[in-house]
Amino acid sequence: MFLIQFFNALQFSMTLFLLAVGLTIIFGLMKIVNLAHGSLYMIGAYIGLSVWTYSSSFWLALLIAPILTGLIGALLYKVLFRHIQTADPMRQVLLTFGLIYIGLDVVRIFWGTMSHSISAPNLLSGSILILGEPYPSYRLFVIFIGIIVLIFLYFLIEKTKIGAQVRASVDDPEMAQLLKIDTDKILFYMFALGCGLAGLGGITVAPILGVEPGMDMEVLVLTLIVVVLGGPGSLKGALTGALIIGFVDSFGKVYIPQLAQIIIYAVMAITLLFKPDGLYSKS
């Protein structure tokens, strides 16, 4: 039982990481808390649902959903987000909060209000024995996706010239501009990447959680907690925060369900009491 719950918690943590890392990158670069990030997660799941329905290929859905979600994010950046980067924080909150309702209505118009399910591919429909205990192959695949994204982002941000420019734009945007780094282009591409990761999270967990209107709000609060806990703008913080919240939430619901939600907020409060800027703040 403990082993199964451990892998369930790890799988949930990787899902939170896919969402939190995109949000924390966007916040680190633009200083905007995009409350509509969960809506992109939901839309990615619905785009994947449509591709899977018409093609019967989960792998095609897994490829197309994050790409189209990233393109939607790029459009939102061009139309809205680049114009509110320096706006009053309350205006930013109101705009992104309004996008949540727009996204929900869009989903209801195009896909209806019913819940849907996506079948895992045949290759991953079975179970694997781990220390004598069967565990669903697809949940291990979700963990694998999270690890691959982590490795990709680590090498992109830490080991490439583009990553150096991203870090410079996060740490000191004014100095980066003086060094002739095109911060606007970096903002555009990283915003689209963050949105694409949200879409990837949506289609990845669709065979486990299903697809339904309102699924964005179920993870948005936890994602925000992960970002605050780990420290906005930090890849390491997104991973650490996702692991902490994922394990606390998963084990809490099993062993002490009455206090599960309280424990999550208590962990966040205690962490911020000693580390007000998060575990891995840029300061």
Q: How far apart are CA 71 and CA 76, in angstroms?
A: 9
pLDDT at residue 281, as a whole number: 65
pLDDT at residue 49, as a whole number: 94
Cα 103 versus chain centre, distance? 16
Taking 3-state DSSP, the helix, strand and coil percentages for the chain, each rounded to the nearest 5, stand at 80, 5, 20
Domain boundaries, the chain: 18-213
By the 8 A CB rule, do 190 and 81 touch? no
pLDDT tens string 227-255: 888 887 778 888 998 999 889 888 888 88
By the 8 A CB rule, do 59 and 203 touch? no
pLDDT tens string 47-88: 999 999 999 899 999 999 999 999 999 999 888 888 887 777
Q: What is the pTM of this model?
A: 0.88
Tokens 């991953």: give the residue.
124
**160-168 long-range contacts, CB within 8 A, separation 24+:** 162/186, 166/29, 166/190
Q: Which backbone phi and psi does 130 adopt, to 5 degrees? A: -120, 110
pLDDT at residue 283, as a whole number: 47
Q: Which backbone phi and psi does 116 adopt, to 5 degrees? A: -130, 160
pLDDT tens string 253-264: 888 877 777 888
What is the DSSP track for 224-257?
A: HHHHHHH-TT-HHHHHHHHHHHHHHHHHHHHH-G
